[in-house]
Structures are given as structure tokens and as C-alpha cells.
Chain A
Amino acid sequence: MSMVDDALRTDSAAIASEMARRDRMAVLARADGKQLRALWTGLSLDPAFEMIRGPETGLATVRGRISGDGAPFNFGDVTVTRASVRLADGSVGHAYRLGRDQGAARLCAVIDAIVHDDRIAERIDRTLVQPLRQAQQDRDARRMAETAATKVDFFTLVRGED
């Protein structure tokens, strides 16, 4: 096998792992703080960690695009809380979440750090991330179905007789 093939394989593996990490972070960022804590408690994990940054709450300015797809413009701020942690083994984790729940942001950073260990990652994904993702998908599906029921079905009125 050539070195180029090897490099490509490593690259695509890295991309896949990065996408998995992004996907996990997206689920954690959107997760309800209460449900997140409950699932975490159920895992009985208690890794030692130190805070590298935060948790701290600040603002991100939201951008839109003129007419939806044109030049960008700033249209308002959101509260965001971020945290970064380092575990005893040196693994580093980061978290960003809308809102001001600092405990949840810290917990998300810890989760982002411990999934560097593949065995723990599998368990976290199965017993914590997947239920959260399911809850989010269920909510989206329910809302879409509720919206779909308000779709207008037009019909044409036939006037006169023929």
C-alpha cells in the first residue's frame, strides 16, 4: 500500500472523527440541562479535571444575510456560555452552548474531553448522546407534524351547473 493511500485513509478517519465530534457537540449544545444532568448522573463517571477556561457567559452577535442569501449583516446578540477543561490524562474538552447554564457547559466540556477514550466514547454515545438526540428528533418531528396539519388544502369552487 502506498504512502498516499495511507495518508488518505488517515485523513478520512480524521474527518469522520471530527464530524462525529461536531455532531456530538451539536446534540450537547441543544440538550435540555436537566435531562443532560440526569443522564450523566446515570453513567456514574466522575473524572478528575481542571478548568482551563470558564465556565463563562458572554455574547455572540448573530449574523443574517440580506434577503436570506445576500451579503451578511449583524442582527442581534445571543447569550452563550463556554467552558474548557483538561483531564488528568491531558485530554482537553471544549463546550459552547446558548444561554447561561454554566454547569451544563462545564459538563459538556468534560464529556468532550473523556470521549478521547474510544471505549468511554462508545458508552457516552449510546447512553447519553443517543437519548438526547432522540429527544431532539422527537420534538422536531412532533412540531413538523403539528405544522403540517395547518397546511392549506386549496380547492376550486365550481360555479353554476353543467
Chain B
Amino acid sequence: MYVAVKGGETAIDNAHRLLADRRRGNRDVAELGLDHIMEQLSQAVDRVMSEGALYDRELAALAIKQARGDMIEAIFLARAYRTTLPRFGYTNPVDTAAMQVERRISACFKDLPGGQLLGPTFDYTHRLLDPGLAEGATPETPETRAPEQARMMRVSDFLGQEGLLEPAPDGSAKPVPDDIARTPMTYPLDRDARLQALARGDEGFLLSMAYSTQRGYARSHPFAGEIRIGEVELELEVPELDFAAPLGRIQVTECQMVNQFQGSAKAPPQFTRGYGLVFGQAERKAMAMSLVDRSLRATELGEDLVAPAQDEEFVIAHADNVQATGFVEHLKLPHYVDFQSELDLVRRLRAEAAAGTGEAREAAE
């Protein structure tokens, strides 16, 4: 028998009204505009776009404001919004070699063509809190210098020329990739579906998984071949035009991780690689993604399966923080009837155990 329990409507309404009040906070303090969030908390915006799998800076800023800065709640809002929109199609694959680069570094080659461009990075800061910023400092205008070249060759392109690096998987075998947003995932996944799941995966989870591979759970001896951040053009094939419609640009972060070589009787040793591609400026996540992409290729590369980061179903099924939070947080919803039946069962078992002990004693006597 299912018994519906009603009640709490007024309490819920008042709780949400209270939430709106607390979200606004002290009215003497200026209200946060979406432009403030977009301009001054841009990395938070990037994280919501990446894990919400929705590139729209203004919507991500709204989600952050509405969620009071609770990132997973904001990501949940972005995901929910996506489901309300029609789909126009799939863009042509972005060309990261044609990126307008804002940062580009390689830990493998000091003198790579185009050079090491640090861009706006936290690296090499002393991680000391800055009291000047608390008071509201006006930053200096950025220094400028004549750029040397517009197009930046990917590190993987010139390593690949010598055959030292495994080639990227060719698209001819599977020109149309899987879309986990439209079809439920069934394991084992192809690498394209895995990358889609990782691209929206939780940064913290992927970071921990990546870290586990460095600490010895499925070691892959990685080098950051190249990390680049910048804007790429998007275009969409549409029936009403004879050419792909230009849509504008988005910012992405790409990481090419170069890993320990492997060789066999048939193939000479060469470096393998893992790949990370993330919306916005999201270097930590792109690096973690590329490490986990590589560790999940264990079966394909004939490696022993010894660690959690090599277990595709374990990693992919738990990387999505919206699904994870849904299941963990559902525990706080009323389970009164479930618990009542458990309670009855435990009482009955305890009573039986007590009676059983009594019977056993009688039999012994």
C-alpha cells in the first residue's frame, strides 16, 4: 500500500522566501550584478560552464548568483536550463591549432616555436593574500609587446612528425561520435563518449583520480606536452546556407599529456598520450582530464588493470557531480515509511533473537 503524506507547503514557501532574503544578504551592501560575476569571478563562471556542459557566460553568472556561490547547485541549474532548449545541431570540430592563444606552455620543450607564453596565470605567484586587493586596487595596464606569430603549431604536431608520438585516432572509422547527452551510456564506452563524460566531469573528482595515477595507482609517467588557452571559432552546417554558418568564438583550454612510451614486437616504442579539452580557462581540469583519459586507455594499450583510475565504469559513472549530488542528497528527503518498516524489522529480529537465546538456554538445561 502506498500512503501519500501531504503537508509542509507553507513551510516550504516560507523557507524559499527566507532563502531569497539570505541570498541577498545585508541590504546596505550593493547587490551583485551578473556583470560583476562575469568580469570578476570569471573562473567560477568557467567552471559552471564546463561542468554544466553549457557555454553561456551570462547564464552561468546567473546560476552562480542564484545558487549563492554553491558551485554544484549552479552547475545543476545550468544543466536543467539546457533541457529547455531545442537543439540546432553539432558544430564542426573546433580547430585548436588555429586558436587565438592567450596562454601556451610546454613542460617538454623549452624552445618550442612560438615560445612559452605565460598569459594570465596564478603560477609563480607567492600565494600570499593581498591586503591591497581587499581595499580595492586599480591594476596597472598590461604590458604589451609585438607578437611574433599568429598561428601556434601544436607540440604534438612536431613530435608526431618524427613518429615519436602515437598518432591521434583517425575519424574515418567513426565519423559521427556518440552523444551521451542524447543516448544513455552503455559500458564499455568508446573513447569519444568517455571524453564527453570527462569534459563535464567534476573537477575535484577528476583531480583526485589524476592524482592517484601520479601516486602510483596506474602510473603513466606523464609530461605536460602542451597546455593552451584561447579562443576558437565555431561554425555550424545549416541547410539554408551553402557554407557553414559562423557562430562566433568561445574560450577553451586544451591539454596534451605525453606519456610513457610503449612498444611491442610489431610496433617500435613511442610516446602515448591523453587529451583534455574544457570550456573556458580551466587548466587544472584540462590536465586532470588528460591524465584520466590516458589511464582509462589501459585496456586499449594492453596494460594491467590494477587501479581505480583505470576502471572505466567506476570513473565515468561517478564523475558527474549532478548525478552524484542527486543521489547523495536525496537521502535527506522524507523516508519515514521506509524507515518505519526497517524499524519494525529490527524490532522483530531483536525479539526473535532474545526468544531464541531463551530457547537455547532451556534446551541446555
Please, could you name 12 A-B residue pairs with CB atoms under 8 Å apart, sorted by A? A26-B233, A29-B248, A58-B85, A59-B54, A63-B93, A64-B96, A65-B171, A66-B195, A72-B175, A74-B196, A78-B250, A150-B103
Give the distance to chain A from B364, nearest Cβ to Cβ, in Å: 70
In the complex, B94 has a CB within 8 A of chain A: yes
Query: 1/0 per residue A13-27: CB within 8 Å of B?
Result: 000001000100110
| Interface segment, one of B260-268, B271-279, B308-316, B335-343 | B271-279
Contacts of B170 in A (CB 8 A): 70-71
Contacts of B122 in A (CB 8 A): none
A144 close to B150 (CB less than 8 A): yes
Give the distance to chain B from A105, nearest Cβ to Cβ, in Å: 11
Q: Which residue of A lies closest to B293 (CB)?
A: A66
Contacts known (A58-B87, A96-B247, A97-B247); A78 close to B55, Cβ less than 8 A: yes
A-B contact count (CB 8 A): 229
Contacts of A147 in B (CB 8 A): 101-103, 117, 119, 147
Give the distance to chain A from B183, nearest Cβ to Cβ, in Å: 11
Query: 1/0 per residue A132-162: CB within 8 Å of B?
Result: 0000000010111111111110100000000
Task: Other than A60-B234, A73-B193, A98-B234, give 10 A-B pairs with Cβ distance below 8 A.
Answer: A30-B248, A65-B94, A66-B191, A74-B180, A76-B200, A77-B82, A80-B236, A97-B247, A143-B100, A147-B102
Q: How many residues of A are counted as interface, with CB atoms below 8 angstroms from the partner's CB atoms?
A: 52
Q: A residues touching B (Cβ–Cβ < 8 Å)? A: 18, 22, 25-26, 29-30, 56-80, 82, 84, 94, 96-100, 140, 142-152, 154
Q: B residues touching A (Cβ–Cβ < 8 Å)? A: 49-50, 53-56, 58-59, 82, 85-94, 96-97, 100-103, 110-111, 115-120, 142-148, 150, 154, 156-157, 167-171, 173-181, 191-193, 195-196, 199-200, 233-234, 236, 238, 240-243, 245-250, 252, 254, 256, 273, 275, 277, 279
A140 to B53, CA, bound (A): 26
Which 7 pairs show the lowest CB-CB distances between chains A and B? A70-B168, A73-B192, A67-B168, A71-B171, A26-B246, A145-B144, A98-B248
Contacts known (A25-B245, A60-B89, A60-B90); A77 close to B146, Cβ less than 8 A: no
